[in-house]
A and B are shown apart, each in its own frame.
Chain A
Amino acid sequence: MRLAPSLALAAALSALFAGSAVAQESDADKDWSKVVIGTEGAYPPFNFLDAAGELKGFDVDIAKALCAQMKVECTFVTQDWDGMIPALQNGNFDAIVASMSITPEREEQIAFTSKYYQTPPAVAVPKDSEITEATDAALSGKAVGAQVSTTHAQAAAALFPDADIRQYPTAEEYKLDIENGRLDAVVDDVVVLDEWLKSDAGACCKLLSTLPADPAIYGKGIGIGLRKGDDKLKKMLDDAIVAIREDGTYDKIQKTYFDFDVYGETPAAQ
């Protein structure tokens, strides 16, 4: 029967597809002399493209310092926020240095280094706003903006269940929209909001208050995302984070961006 060969081919191909689930490979035999780092490039002051199109920011400088410490050659690529984890898993880059919180949901997919900073979330409102406190009652029925797929969007939904939470592709768009008067409040990292409010673009708005960082949502601070199985790279980065904190490089970098300590509490030894 003529159909038999095509069915055999079909069976062979389907076996190939079904078996192609991503296997967790160990990185024990990689030398990691070159590391590709993925970041977003739209989240000032942590990572952003300056007027010349160069990647700048706290995340970028920390990554460069870590690479210098590990004596590896690093290159940077930019990637939209909500495709960050799949791009890492597909091997487009080896490490995410993009202010990503170490959350339980993400830890099911990827591995993280220990944290390299931890700052609380906050709420900003227009200057003439009648909202005086960041509570669900005060924000009930109000339009609250946040970036899509972020811990801040999750926290906003959890803390203000009666608010109308709107999610934007990047931080740039919610900033535009609160300026345009479509939003009554926005939720993001306090440092990100502060940087924006100090700039001309943020003249519309003011900081209302910081929010409690629920560990169930925010996890253990901001870490570097890695593929599961890349244990060698994780060890290298963990050691480098400790080293740059000890030798003063970390403090030097954070002083160029912030006038306070963004590292937060020292985590308990694991």
Chain B
Amino acid sequence: MSGNGPSLAAPAPPPQKPKIAGMIAIGVWIAFAIAFVIYFAKAFDTTLIARFGWSYLSGLWVTVSLVAVSFVLGALVSLPVALGRMSANPIAGGSAFAFVYFFRGTPLIAQIFLVYYGFGQFHDFFEAIGMWWFFREAWYCGLLSLALNTAAYQAEILRGAIESVPKGQWEGGRSLGLPGSVIFFKVVLPQAMIVALRPYANEIILMIKASAIVAIITVYDLFGETRQAYSRTYDFQTYVWAALLYLALVEALRHATNWAERRLTVHLKR
């Protein structure tokens, strides 16, 4: 398993003297930070927290659960799709390609509208086949759209990661007489996961933000609750709160990714 781990960091470059352009750039960022703090301290209104605090928390929970469940479902769907993409069989390869092509090539907002309002037109049909309970609920429609969408992206991440594992790993496994499934799940996939970890984290971050779209199909996620609060107060700090909560989610995820990377690459440390 040597030779394909992350390359160790190059020696640090010699320290540079700060340049004027860099100073200006930093100055602008500091200015934004200071202006933001001043604005927020001025606009901060505790009565708004009392009024909308709980709805923000419930919205946060909807966003987190929606992203978590659809990411896991998408991961399950992505495995056969990724295998299909790598398959020599034209039917498996073609259908996997079509799946990825459609879900990556069309906007998520169109997919959600199609599933929610489009499928809604056929409610008689869905009632007849006993699936209307599923499509009736906006939450399930959002979940389905997000899961299928992320499955397409995850399939490509997975495929790239699996293909990055050198062929020698397969050959070594075969020479030991291991069955193909054992080589895949015990040898290749764990190594692929190291490569896939960062793209996966990236995908979750994109999903956290993309999930705000479900607000238009009446799901009160964090963004939906924010719109409610804004429409009652016309105060932009309601959006600032939402931005900070999304930021906190992404920051937590970043730390979780770093932790997972340390765990996964523990055998590569020297």
Contact = CB atoms under 8 A, between A and B. Distances in A.
Interface of A: 2-3, 5-7, 9-14, 16-18, 82, 85-86, 105-106, 108-109, 145, 148-149, 154, 166-169, 173, 176-177, 180-182
A7 B120 CA distance: 57
A169 B38 CA distance: 33
Given A85-B234, A105-B232, A167-B218, A180 B123 contact: yes
B24 A6 contact: yes
B227 interface: yes
Contacts of B216: 169
B28 A18 contact: no
Contacts of A9: 24, 27-28, 31
Interface in B124-141: 132, 136, 138
Contact of B27 (A6, A82, A168): A6
Interface string B18-56: 100001101110111011001100100000000000000
B34 A180 contact: no
Contacts of A10: 27-28, 30-31, 34
A259 to B, nearest CB: 33
B23 A168 contact: no
Given A149-B231, A180-B120, A11 B34 contact: yes
A190 to B, nearest CB: 22
B228 interface: yes
Interface of B: 18, 23-24, 26-28, 30-32, 34-35, 38-39, 42, 117, 120-121, 123, 132, 136, 138, 216, 218, 224, 227-228, 230-234
A7 B27 contact: yes
Contacts of B136: 181-182
Contacts of B34: 10-11, 14
Contact of B117 (A12, A17, A85, A177): A177
Interface majority SS (helix, strand, loop, mixed), chain A: helix
Given A6-B24, A149-B227, A17 B31 contact: yes
B234 to A, nearest CB: 5
A170 B179 CA distance: 57
A181 B218 contact: no
Interface majority SS (helix, strand, loop, mixed), chain B: helix
A12 B35 CA distance: 10
Nearest to B18: A2
A148 B227 contact: yes
Contact of A17 (B35, B232, B234): B35
Contact of A3 (B23, B218, B234): B23
Nearest to B124: A181
B117 A180 contact: yes
A82 B232 CA distance: 10
B28 A13 contact: yes
Nearest to B122: A180
Given A7-B30, A168-B218, A176-B120, A109 B35 contact: no
B30 A18 contact: no
B244 to A, nearest CB: 18
Contacts of A11: 31, 34
A18 B34 CA distance: 9
B120 A182 contact: yes
B108 to A, nearest CB: 16
A10 B18 CA distance: 17
A173 B23 CA distance: 51
A82 B231 contact: yes
Contacts of A177: 117, 120, 218
A6 B234 contact: no
A97 B28 CA distance: 41
A109 B231 CA distance: 11
B42 A18 contact: yes
Contacts of A106: 234
